[in-house]
Amino acid sequence: MCGITSFVGRKKNLNEVVHNLKKLEYRGYDSAGVAWIENGAIKTIKSIGEIKNLETKITQKIMSNCIISHTRWATHGKISEINTHPHVSKNGTWAVVHNGIIENHKALKAQFELNVLSETDTAVISELLEKQKASSIFDFKDAVSLLNGSYALVCICEQNPDRLFFAKNKSPLYVATNEFGEFMIASDPVCFVGFSNKFISLNDGDYGFVELNNIEVFNFNNKMYNPIWKINDVLDIESNITSEKFFMQKEINEEEKILKNLVKSYKNKKILEIFDKDFLCNFKEIMFIGCGTAFHAGLYGAEILQSKLNVHAHAEMASEFIAKGGRFVSNETLCFFISQSGETADTLQALKLAKEKQAVVIGLTNIMHSTLAQKCDYVLPTLAGPEIAVASTKAFVCQMAILFLFAAYFQSNLKIDPFEQVLEISQKLRKYDLNYVENISNLIKNIKKCMFIGTEINSVIAKESALKLKEVSYINAVSYPSGELKHGYLALIDEGFPVIAIALNHQTNYRTINSAIEAETRGANILFITNEKMDFENSIYIDENDEFLASIICSKITQTIAFCVSQKLGINPDKPKNLAKSVTVE
Ligand code: M6R
């Protein structure tokens, strides 16, 4: 979604800041813009589409000591130059970049009679700052305190041409400094790579300014405080590109290695030992909460805890959890939040609600400096490394492996070492590469729609597989528990309808196989992914008897199928239309 990167210090070439904006491309955006101070005046250039369009508009070398830039993912107002950030006030006194949503923008517009040309909620901020004749940090704060909603704000002001003003509420914002006393403010620390490895995470309610050799940060009580600087260990996204053409392919290929490293870390660092062995006995219920793929990981977590530990566990989408007001959650509930980014707005909102209800909260996240990691009672690292493609692949595989280890940690009398089991799975993954999947499946040729079926844990993997295929191919991919087919969904089946049947549990595989055959009788073209040795024309055999471990292999297979289909359709799987990597608005 939207991204911010900005700079203040000695004079810098504008192109450098705009180039840095590319580190945020993976988040998804549909326009980009930059504003800077030049000879005491605010200037701006904006462009629809890719950042390279913005770069082509910068036709001469521009040097400035104060620069803000932004990638916009449209929420309020269509994709247009006028709606692109930075938003400059009518008389050019303030320019603003903003991530988040100002919920009371209409009320503010009416109350202060703001003449706002753009359709965005953000434009009211620059007009408000101008109308209030703000120039000092205290004027800035007064204006910001009128805003309701979520915001990561960075602003420049004509009267204070050497300063970046900032404020944060609910949307992530970070500040970095280097040995020259210069500062960058960005919505993701990945922007700081190459500038400095010293940064701070701002807290909700924080505001302040940075200028050469000086930073002033105030908390929501207007108390100035000395922030604690951390060391940035984020890898550089650009240098991370390898021989694969797409991040999605690269990230799927990395799964084997990442799982090996994950086992090493979880074993050697005894990560799960933050929990007492009887930890789960403290709770009447365990709820897994997340969005999209992370929600599917939650369904996996609930299935594995039910099945291996016989505890009450279920999963809820974060948005539904919020809508239902965190029904039945109490201090006897364990809420287990899963999020690759740790910044998904719905997940964070659900976390807030769970904490208000006094639930104990665990976070499983790939980003250890994220808001989720900071706000949970216990944090488990996903250890997937930077995931750039919008479609989550390697993070999902790691989430499953960690949940498998988590369940095993509380099991007594295990005969097999769970770390060894995951290691073995990582080795088995290698076989199912692009060539293997392409050769075995004639189903993915000319695919126009697809149905995934399975029972219990297999139906969870079916759900995730359908999501993946939808995201990167735009074809209508659906998923149903196998047993439901004859209660309605068979109506969808016609000649050649592709059905992928996931059957990885020896106890229940016959159900899925029977349902698939019923669909085949009605014309469906079936591909089985199974650990049953079967003699079907189209089938991918997985040599693993534990259904939860086999699910990890199956996920790599269906991720690869999704990738193959995207390639056949000529779609860039890294940046699917209308989607963003990190969904930071509710
Ligand atoms: O960063 P998160 O794991 O919280 O993201 C949650 C979802 O937005 C995310 O999984 C989304 O569904 C992916 N695009 C799935 O591939």
pLDDT single digits (tens) 348-402: 999 999 999 999 999 999 999 889 999 999 999 999 998 989 999 999 999 999 9
Distance 1 CA to ligand 1 centre (A): 12
Residues 542 and 434 sit within 8 Å (Cβ to Cβ):
no
Position in ligand 1 atom list of the atom nearest CA 392: 16
Residue with CA nearest ligand 1 atom 7: 292
Residues 171 and 205 sit within 8 Å (Cβ to Cβ):
no
Phi, psi of 362 (to 5 degrees): -110, 140
- Give the burial string for 24-52 (b: 16+ CB within 10 Å, else e): bbbbbbbbbbbbbbeeeebbbbbbbebbe
Higher pLDDT: 76 or 68? It is 68
pLDDT surpasses 80 at 419? yes
Residue indicated by tokens 């050497």: 162
Distance 316 CA to ligand 1 centre (A): 14
Distance 495 CA to ligand 1 centre (A): 34
What is the predicted pLDDT for the residue at 236? 60
Dihedral of CA atoms 439, 442, 259, 237 in degrees, nearest 10, equals 90
What is the predicted pLDDT for the residue at 586? 73
Active site residue 2: yes
Q: How far apart are CA 320 and CA 303, in angstroms?
A: 19
In this structure, which amino acid lies at residue 22?
Answer: K
Tokens representing 18 are 């705009």
Q: How far apart are CA 216 and CA 218, in angstroms?
A: 7
Q: How many CA atoms lie within 13 A of 198 on its CB side?
A: 10
SS3 164: strand
Arithmetic mean of pLDDT, 163-190:
95
Q: How far apart are CA 374 and CA 368, in angstroms?
A: 8
Arithmetic mean of pLDDT, 282-300:
97
The secondary structure of residue 470, as a DSSP letter, is H
Cis-peptide, bond into residue 481, ω within 30° of zero? no
pLDDT single digits (tens) 119-173: 899 999 999 999 999 889 999 999 999 999 999 999 999 999 999 999 999 889 9
pLDDT surpasses 80 at 242? no
Residues 72 and 33 sit within 8 Å (Cβ to Cβ):
yes
Residues 182 and 146 sit within 8 Å (Cβ to Cβ):
no
Q: How far apart are CA 157 and CA 258, in angstroms?
A: 46
pLDDT single digits (tens) 462-514: 999 999 999 999 999 999 999 999 899 899 999 999 999 999 999 999 999 99
Position in ligand 1 atom list of the atom nearest CA 390: 14
Distance 190 CA to ligand 1 centre (A): 19
Higher pLDDT: 76 or 222? It is 222
pLDDT class of 231 with cuts at 50, 70, 90: confident
List the one residue out of 303, 277, 579, 267 whose CA is nearest residue 456.
Answer: 303
Catalytic residue among 2, 335, 376, 554: 2
Q: How far apart are CA 468 and CA 480, in angstroms?
A: 15
pLDDT single digits (tens) 428-467: 999 999 888 888 766 677 788 999 999 999 999 999 999 9
pLDDT surpasses 90 at 538? no
Position in ligand 1 atom list of the atom nearest CA 391: 16
pLDDT single digits (tens) 245-255: 899 999 999 99
The secondary structure of residue 182, as a DSSP letter, is -
SS3 185: strand
pLDDT surpasses 70 at 199? yes
Q: In what order do the strands lie in the sheet with 198-201?
A: 41-48, 31-38, 63-72, 3-13, 183-186, 174-177, 198-201, 230-231
Render 81-149 in DSSP notation, one character per residue: TTTSSPEEPTTSSEEEEEEEEETTHHHHHHHTT----SSSSTHHHHHHHHHTT--SHHHHHHHHTT--E
| β-bridge pairing 313-317 and 476-481 | unpaired
Q: How far apart are CA 561 and CA 503, in angstroms?
A: 17
Whole-model pTM: value is 0.85
What is the predicted pLDDT for the residue at 330? 96
Active site residue 581: yes
Residue with CA nearest ligand 1 atom 16: 391
Residues with C-beta less than 6 Å from any ligand 1 atom: 291-294, 339-341, 344, 347, 390-392, 471, 579, 582-583
Render 523-556 in DSSP notation, one character per residue: T-EEEEEESS----SSEEE-----HHHHHHHHHH
Q: How far apart are CA 79 and CA 92, in angstroms?
A: 22
What average pLDDT is seen over the chain?
93
What share of the chain has pLDDT > 70, as a percent? 98
Residue 211, H or E segment: strand 207-211
Pocket test for ligand 1, best of 27, 392, 393, 463 (most atoms within 8 A of CB): 392
What is the predicted pLDDT for the residue at 235? 56
pLDDT class of 575 with cuts at 50, 70, 90: confident
Higher pLDDT: 534 or 9? It is 9
pLDDT single digits (tens) 79-105: 999 999 999 999 999 999 999 999 999
Distance 342 CA to ligand 1 centre (A): 10
pLDDT surpasses 60 at 241? no
Distance 341 CA to ligand 1 centre (A): 8
Tokens representing 268 are 């050697």
What is the predicted pLDDT for the residue at 441? 66
Tokens representing 112 are 């202060």
Catalytic residue among 12, 46, 170, 581: 581
Residues 305 and 333 sit within 8 Å (Cβ to Cβ):
no
In this structure, which amino acid lies at residue 498?
Answer: P
- Give the burial string for 356-386 (b: 16+ CB within 10 Å, else e): ebebbbbbbbbbbbbbbbebbeebbbbbbbb
pLDDT surpasses 90 at 520? yes
List the one residue out of 370, 402, 357 whose CA is nearest residue 383.
Answer: 402
Pocket test for ligand 1, best of 583, 584, 585, 586 (most atoms within 8 A of CB): 583
Residues present in the chain in total: 586
pLDDT single digits (tens) 47-75: 999 999 999 999 999 999 999 999 998 88
Position in ligand 1 atom list of the atom nearest CA 296: 10
DSSP lists the bridge partners of residue 154 as 97, 166
What is the predicted pLDDT for the residue at 28? 78
Pocket test for ligand 1, best of 289, 344, 468, 558 (most atoms within 8 A of CB): 344
Pocket test for ligand 1, best of 288, 299, 340 (most atoms within 8 A of CB): 340
List the one residue out of 416, 444, 408, 400 whose CA is nearest residue 560.
Answer: 444
Residue indicated by tokens 């082509």: 56
Render 2-17 in DSSP notation, one character per residue: -EEEEEEEEEEEHHHH
Q: Is 357 left (phi over 0), alpha (psi -120 to 50) or beta?
A: alpha
What is the predicted pLDDT for the residue at 234? 65
Residue with CA nearest ligand 1 atom 4: 339
pLDDT class of 237 with cuts at 50, 70, 90: low
Distance 524 CA to ligand 1 centre (A): 31
